Structure 1
Amino acid sequence: MLLSFVIPVYNEQDSLKQLTDEIIANCAPHNYEIIFIDDGSQDHSFAIMEELACQDPNIKVVKFRRNFGKAAALQYGFNLAQGEIVFTLDADLQDNPKEIPKFLDKIAEGWDLVSGWKQKRNDPWHKVLPSRFFNFVTARAFHLKLKDFNCGFKAYRKEVVKELSLYGEMHRYIPALAHSLGYKITEIPVEHRKRIYGHSKYGMERYLRGFFDLLTVKMVTQYAKSPLYLFGRVGLIATLIGTIIAIYLTVLKIFYNQPLSNRPLLFLAITLILGGLQFVSLGLISELIVNRSVPLRPLPVSVEKTVNIQKKEELDLESS
């Protein structure tokens, strides 16, 4: 069985040789290929990877012209991967390749994607706390019981990575994307080592980008083919609240003769009703656009297997 390792690299020159040796040591008895994606490194990472590739024909190196981000690097690596099982891990040595057999055991149980869970993180608190909040929100947004979406150490069946389409910060939502396609997802605790070389490439701005990508993934996975379910729901709630306020004000005017021109509730009711109707209209227009671009076609599905089923008449004919 061929194992593919897709490893995005950005300024990790000091860890590459050790990482390669550890991966190879934990691959036996399987064949392997290691795909390094140099995401615009400015140190000697590419030169070291070239040297490793010259020494081992199972190592491939791709160099981006500039830094495009982890999602783009993973997507390119997934397109190149030929292995039946595809691993992703970070190049900073915090992911320990000795966990590889544990991932393979879980895949053998029938899971399609096995995600690592950094049960004990060796990171500073200002990275751990936001990450825990992110995992909490993401797990509930997608109804997926994972404790660590951020862990880069994952194992996939080949068919999973070939169906994914990543951009932006969507690499953080790979389990959610795979789950929406019907694949079976689980996670296992993995060792998270302390960073020895270099420093983290991510700042606080990644959480803002991650929030927008969360909305994007939520929209793509649940409402792409039925946007009215999203906009219509918001519109109906707003319209209902506005109508209730309007009825309340009408009662005050008719039965208690109270003036309404100076009441902020009146303007709130008008805003909610008009805004709600606009949301419903936006949902209907979105439905027209979606159905016009894909007229009367079935929704794309993730196919596990295809079986030829003969008609009953043909079976009867053969039996006779």
Structure 2
Amino acid sequence: MGLLDKAKQRANNYISPRDFLRFLAYKLEEPIKDVISFLLYNHFDELVSEYYIDEHYRIYHYADIDCEHKTSKLFKEILKDGYLDYINFCYDFYDDFDDDILSIDEELLDFYEPMKIDFFYSLEELQKMTFITELNLALEESSTLDYKVDDSDMVTLREKPKDGYRFFSIRNTNVKSDAERAKEEQEIIDRHGENSQAHNFYKLIEASLKKQLPHQQKKFKSDKQIISELNEQITEIESELEQVRTQLELEQQQAPQRARAQTDETNTDRKLIAMLAILLAKQSNTFRIGDRPNAKQINEQVYNLTMQIVEKLGMDQADILGLKANTDKISKAVQAYADMFKLSKD
């Protein structure tokens, strides 16, 4: 066994965010943007820890070496216009920074925030996240595959897998003081000039390291908050249902009263019809047959008088449809209430 074999084996228990995102997208056959949305939905950016591995295979937690937590920013930048565009932008940006030459379009510099994706996630910690383990994926395979990402963020594999050899970033793990940073910045100003391209690049990187760049702008709601809001909505709906139930019960209680009122109104109308028919019969023999009102003759006379009014006023005959059918109503009303109105012959 070589001197560094154990250290390398330990380092292999960590996965880069690029391999992690591409592996999930490949295995789930989903675009990387949707994978990120799934992770954000489950608050992955809040739960996950980030680690750095230097050229000696030493592993550091991000908080121990004065680095910002980058996952939120990485996800935010990728979601702007896709994984491929952002990764290519970061490669170009840091290539220019190393060469002291600015060739990137200024619009891209305004659109994206550059960052070095030089951190790792712990496989052990990932496998403890329920929403990750439920996917039933062998995350340890993610670093052994050679991915290909297309313009739509879909991931496939190249013909040959990677040889498994992994590169770790050369990182200065010594925490710099404000005085040291100021000295470094002054040296760049003396060499390249204040607000030069090199100076502006330096300020961008230092702002990132000092956590001055914006993180995720909108906090995602926790499961507890979502459940609380849903419970409030359920309570509100139940209250509305109770009000509807009370209203229905009230209407059911009032239904018999309304029915009786309608019946009373109908009976009153029939009494009035019977009374008028009997009065007409008393006034003229034309409107009676024997000792009873002549319902047919009364109805015909009412209809004829109505037609005269309609013709004089120019009314629509459609307004008097059904008048010819009132004979039966008059006859039944007289039969029902004849004993209340004594009819004597003229």
**Structure 1 and Structure 2 fold alike (TM over 0.5):** no
Between structure 1 and structure 2, the one with the greater Rg is: 2
Interval of TM-score (by shorter of Structure 1 and Structure 2):
under 0.3
With normalisation by structure 2, the TM-score equals 0.19
